[in-house]
Amino acid sequence: MNPYFPRFIACFFTLLSLNAKPTSAQAELKIPLAEVTQIAEEAFIYGYPLVMNYGTVYEYAVDKQGKNFKAPFNVLYNTARVYTPADTTIVTPNSDTPYSFVTADLRAEPLVLTLPAIEKDRYYSVQLIDLYTDNFGYMGSRTTGNGGGTYMVTGPNWKGTVPAGVAKVFPCETEFAILLIRTQLFGPADLENVKKIQAGYKAQPLSQYLGQPAPPQAATIDWPMIDKFQAAKDPFEYLAFILQFCPTTGAAAVEQPLRERFKQIGIAAGQPVAANKYTEVEKAAIGAGIRQGLAKIKESIVTFGKDENGWRVGSPFGDRAFFHGDWLKRAGSAMAGIYGNNAVEALYPILSLDSAGQHPNSGEHNYMLTFPAGQLPPCNAFWSVTMYDGKTQLLIENPIDRYLINSPMLPNLKKNTDGSITLYVQKDSPGKDHESNWLPAPNGLMYVVMRLYWPKEEALSGKWQPPAMVVGK
């Protein structure tokens, strides 16, 4: 999730409370004010992940002068390192796998992705994400194997012929998509090997892949800068802008009635919202709807997954069929950690309560997380336990620059006499004897995510459960 977005919400509410107080002015919208509020709530919940996504697209592919810019559209960018506290565009990033990105513009022609052969014991995945934040496809170790191949991602309006050599086509419902590639890193000494693999990833427009002239370019887009001040001024302006790239064709046709409903408060695909035309009483009604929507999104997160020893275990991410019109679930997923994987690709136990039933606070307590002998997280690829600041959900600086403990580190972890492994989760060093097993924590609320990549059935079914985070002395 883009961290500036909560700041935009706070700023919006501040402006709203100062400038949008109810009055007796005659409303211009042709529906009752109670319905204005209801539609605003629905639009906010529906649009939350789309705007989150746009924030990333803008920073990574549009804002060439910004510090987070990666590469232009349809150009592959490799991050030849793991994420650190300096990376703030996306919250709860993993620090296990160097990322590669392609922000795909599929309007003029498809994008062809060529993947190299990778040694069979190294996990990698290519996650395909549309503008809704639905995961519409996967390539990689679990799905297509490590033998390499050529694949094509098409936009909603493409009707061409699949060229020879393309192993599979992945249709995208929206005109833009994000291709997110994770390549497993076995340790610091393995980074050069990962760089060589990343150098073999290739993204090309179809015409370039075929060695043919490019088709006419799609229309130039006037991308709106996204920041907290502009978003506070026009809260639904970004949603209306993004919807023009999300046609209600094919499976998305079920959304047409919802889009028509949004038009009743001035939100129409590709059209200015013209919020300045709302009366003060309408602004107040819309603001109330946004507040209600935000509260419901926050509340929805605690219902994700199953409660297992203080962890919420599950993965609230998937494709259109997975969400099945539950826009609140989709919005909650984006708030919890945008661009999460489907459960079969990665399972995400998120720490909710410690062994005392309290919200984990490493400013007040030291903790111990013990995996009994033979009961490490069961997965076909690898597992990790990553620490984040409880307020920002970003990685935190610490004296040993360690942001996680994962399965590749097992040879360096000390075992207890019974074969179990205890991780010491605390803000201060547990002492030299235990420092190999120390997961540094913030001086305050902590947010801990366990990741099981390519989880085994016993993890998916709940037969295996993560151990409790035990309050120490």
pLDDT at 7: 37
Environment class of 158 (CB within 10 Å of its CB; exposed 0-12, middle 13-18, buried 19+): middle
Contacts made by residues 26-34, CB under 8 angstroms, sequence distance 24+ = 26/279, 27/279, 27/281, 27/282, 28/277, 28/278, 28/279, 28/282, 29/264, 29/265, 29/266, 29/278, 29/282, 30/264, 31/264, 31/265, 33/281, 33/282, 33/285, 34/285
Residues 257 and 176 in one domain: no
Contact residues for 348 (Cβ-Cβ < 8 A; gap 6+): 313, 314, 315, 337, 340, 341, 449, 450, 451, 452
pLDDT at 86: 86
Q: Using the 3D structure, point to which of 180, 210, 240 is the last residue of a domain.
A: 210
CATH label of the domain that carries residue 380:
2.60.120.600
Residues 204 and 285 in one domain: no
Q: What are the backbone dihedrals phi and psi of residue 386, each rounded to the nearest 5 degrees, phi first?
A: -115, 140
Rounded-to-integer distance, Cα 289 and Cα 429, Å: 47
**Count of C-beta atoms within a 10 Å radius of residue 411:** 7
pLDDT at 24: 34
Low-confidence ranges of the chain (pLDDT < 70): 1-27, 228-234, 274-276
Rounded-to-integer distance, Cα 71 and Cα 59, Å: 10
Residues 192 and 162 in one domain: yes
DSSP states along 118-175: --TTS-EEEEEEETT--EEEEEETTTT-SS-EEEEEE-TT---PPPTT--EEEE-SSS
Residues 340 and 374 in one domain: yes
Residues 462 and 322 in one domain: yes
Angle at 58 between CA 55 and CA 59, to 5 degrees: 85
Question: How many domains would you assign to the chain?
Answer: 3
Q: Using the 3D structure, point to which of 184, 210, 236 is the last residue of a domain.
A: 210
Residues 118 and 242 in one domain: no
Q: Three-state DSSP class for 408?
A: helix
**What pTM was computed for the model?**
0.88
Domain that holds residue 154: 64-210
pLDDT at 315: 84
Residues 73 and 176 in one domain: yes
Rg, the chain, Cα only:
23
Residues 371 and 237 in one domain: no
**Count of C-beta atoms within a 10 Å radius of residue 132:** 24
CATH label of the domain that carries residue 92:
2.60.40.1610
pLDDT at 6: 38
Query: In terms of residues, how long is the chain?
Result: 473
Domain annotation covers residue 175: yes
pLDDT at 80: 83
Residues 386 and 289 in one domain: no
Contact residues for 281 (Cβ-Cβ < 8 A; gap 6+): 22, 23, 24, 25, 27, 33
Residues 335 and 429 in one domain: yes
Residue type at position 269: A
Rounded-to-integer distance, Cα 167 and Cα 127, Å: 16
Residues 192 and 180 in one domain: yes
